[in-house]
Structure 1
């Protein structure tokens, strides 16, 4: 066995040197997000020193080394800081300060270490964003990004459906079939072992396939339509309303912005008919889903949102500016669960983390943290919108602006129902897409080689938008 491992290690090092010389940083970052999401610590980790080694940490470390190596050799240049970059830096600095001045919680009073949450959900995505935004970006690499995410979506959809149908032979990695790991066993939950995380990934991968559709031929488009339908089926089997809503809101906005005005009445009619159909035939099933999770929390999850809102409001009143400490909602909420001044039962959230990213940041870091987070997201929305409507740029760049908008819609809708910062992989995917937008926005000219590959069917009439 040791010989086999040694052979694989030597081969990996050899390929790493080849990739360092000729490989694309954007493709490497896409592989990091993909492989890091699939091969989690439940699949493999090595305890060498104080910090366990995992696939995602090794890949990101390699990307950081590769980035600085190319920068030192003059193979790439670092762009000037933009307003979104400065806002993001301010958010990171404030969260780091707030973490440093917060006492560590008791081991039994936290589900996610504040230190690990700060590193994995904020600083690792920031490094990914910085690498992508300063790497070489062109049309070919952008297509590889969409193709990689589309293939990831097909894999996740196939795995999720196999989970629900009990076809464990088709589920990979095998730790997904272990009911004692993670939450939401019995629903499609994927390698992250959480249905909400799988739903976010499926939704964003759906949009990757959507925007790749125009770049392919007839048979390629047919395969992509099948892939999108497969992803929608798996998204249903997550039995997570916020994920359904995230994709639905995107479908209600992106086509109206993306397509010419003469198409919009047909789109509006189709959307209205779909909403009416869903309300009449499946509305009751959506509201009263008969799902059962391994943690038993799904039966009254809708009502728990009110409990989280009330507790968050009480906590905000007592620490409005700086919050109760980064990563401390889990244990700091306990005294507020005894409040009997309203009719809503609060005890059911005692063993739960926050279910709202924005309220979580508000209670833990105060109004300053929430304002900075909203400012960053708002700057990203503005950046994506400007790129999508900049008619001086190639159409594939504008298409990426629309893809970024769809990604932000999915992320922010789900953030209102889950604390996504407890699962770092969602921030990885968001910053991967955002980094491409930042890099494209910083370009002051359009390479002629990009214009040769623009599909005619992507050309939009600026007067109709």
Structure 2
């Protein structure tokens, strides 16, 4: 079995190299996102080695060799921005917090989380961030994620309807993974992660509906433009239906907010604010009118309506535990990946009028509270700063005059991805789900690459180049002595 797995992995690596040879580093990074989503750990693994992790090592080695060749030729390294410093600070805090605490806890889970949930996505971020993005490349990436969104929507609908014969990979409906069984959890085995990718696919699909009618290309006939727009709109509707099939309220919130954001960004300025407020108010009225049903309805096959109603009461208790931990460890937290070691002492306290024993088996259900309890303000502030700077950059790119339409749409797709990340992250620590940080970081990297090309963000001196410039004379002198 191991020999077959190694042969399969080697063949995948060869085809991956061919793909990168044809499409470059961007194509390789997109392939890793899609591969890790569908063919990740539940599909195939040998110990901690999975197919996407193997491909990640290949693309990092490829990128490293390219940079080494350019450095030997005296070419400057990639330009840095202040956003890169925030990213470096955030990853530095996470790494320090992990290494200075018991990272062997629970089978080295803290170290695994650091490597696979943050450092690997950050590696893809760095590669995409410093890869030039052309309009055809942006269009191709949007098409890939739109097609992936359609696949996820079809899978989610098939899960809810019980049409298991058409579902691939088969582990999605396997009895070995019973959590969230019965709703559209997709290849991630989690409806919230599925919803984040569905929201991103929805935005990518609608980029074709909004871009092609405005392209006005003489080589494309008007009927074809109309046909593409209709297909894009139909695809967006199907993805929205797939979001509904997740039977998850935070996913619905993210999809609804995504549609509002897309509509607001394309309406004329005089109409956008009023129309968005009106539709948002109508949505709030619908939520209020159906609140009792939203709080308790049958979703999972193995969870009753009473259990669902009880689960909604857990989040205030988890927030209370997080507040107690933050009061005692405001700056550095209890250590990354150490929440389940630290929370037991606070749950045992009886100074809070809540049945905290009910949350004993659970992790934090909020991505920011989870980060705050484990890394304190030292880790939470850089992460929030990253999200804010990325959002400001998206605003600048979207309003950048003269920029190609599909390049501008990288800003909108990132904004929708972030909206879905936060909408689901308010009710679940989505950062613990594999491939969720990956899609956020890759979309942010595409945005930053476009922003740097459009001069929408200020560059700074590269710390790496500064070090290399100091080291290069020493290396040259040593090589001269050898010759």
TM-score by length of 2: 0.83
* 1:86–1:277 distance in 2 versus 1, CA, 3 Å: same
- CA deviation vs aligned residue, 1:75-125 (integer Å, no higher than 9, x gap): 997431111110010010111011111114653xx8x81111111111111
Q: 1:30 and 2:38 equivalent?
A: no
Residue 81 of structure 1: aligned partner: 80
Residue 220 of structure 2: aligned partner: none
1:324 and 1:65 map into 2 onto residues whose CA distance is 35
Residue 378 of structure 1: aligned partner: 388
1:231 and 1:153 map into 2 onto residues whose CA distance is 6
After TM superposition, the structure 1 = structure 2 runs for residues 128-143 of structure 1, keeping only pairs within 5 Å, are 128-143=124-139
Structure 1 or 2, whichever has the larger Rg, is 2
Q: 1:239 and 2:247 equivalent?
A: yes
How far has the Cα of 1:66 moved from its partner? 2.3
Gaps of 5+ in 1: 447-465
- CA deviation vs aligned residue, 1:162-203 (integer Å, no higher than 9, x gap): 111111111111111123326211211111111111111111
Residue 451 of structure 1: aligned partner: none
SS, match of residue 312 in structure 2: helix
Once the two structures are overlaid, the 10-residue window that deviates more, 35-44 or 181-190, is 181-190
Residue 229 of structure 2: aligned partner: 221
1:98 and 1:9 map into 2 onto residues whose CA distance is 34
Residue 96 of structure 2: aligned partner: 97
2:10 and 2:126 map into 1 onto residues whose CA distance is 30
* 1:318–1:437 distance in 2 versus 1, CA, 3 Å: same
Residue 190 of structure 1: aligned partner: 186
CA contact (8 A) 2:146 2:204 kept: yes
Gaps of 5+ in 2: 213-224, 457-483
After TM superposition, the structure 1 = structure 2 runs for residues 24-63 of structure 1, keeping only pairs within 5 Å, are 24-47=24-47, 52-63=48-59
Q: 1:425 and 2:435 equivalent?
A: yes
Residue 161 of structure 1: aligned partner: 157
CA contact (8 A) 1:324 1:363 kept: yes
1:92 and 1:205 map into 2 onto residues whose CA distance is 28
CA contact (8 A) 2:295 2:309 kept: no
* 1:266–1:412 distance in 2 versus 1, CA, 3 Å: closer
CA contact (8 A) 1:329 1:363 kept: yes
CA contact (8 A) 1:357 1:421 kept: yes
How far has the Cα of 1:268 moved from its partner? 4.5
SS, match of residue 453 in structure 2: coil
CA contact (8 A) 2:20 2:27 kept: no
2:156 and 2:253 map into 1 onto residues whose CA distance is 19
* 1:242–1:136 distance in 2 versus 1, CA, 3 Å: same
Aligned partner of 2:354 among 344, 349, 356: 344
TM-score by length of 1: 0.86
CA contact (8 A) 1:91 1:369 kept: yes
How far has the Cα of 1:380 moved from its partner? 1.1
Residue 394 of structure 1: aligned partner: 404
Aligned partner of 1:408 among 406, 413, 418: 418
After TM superposition, the structure 1 = structure 2 runs for residues 444-459 of structure 1, keeping only pairs within 5 Å, are none
How far has the Cα of 1:136 moved from its partner? 2.5
CA contact (8 A) 2:332 2:378 kept: yes
Aligned residues: 438
* 1:257–1:9 distance in 2 versus 1, CA, 3 Å: closer
CA contact (8 A) 1:102 1:325 kept: yes
Once the two structures are overlaid, the 10-residue window that deviates more, 9-18 or 331-340, is 9-18
Residue 65 of structure 1: aligned partner: 61
1:171 and 1:207 map into 2 onto residues whose CA distance is 24
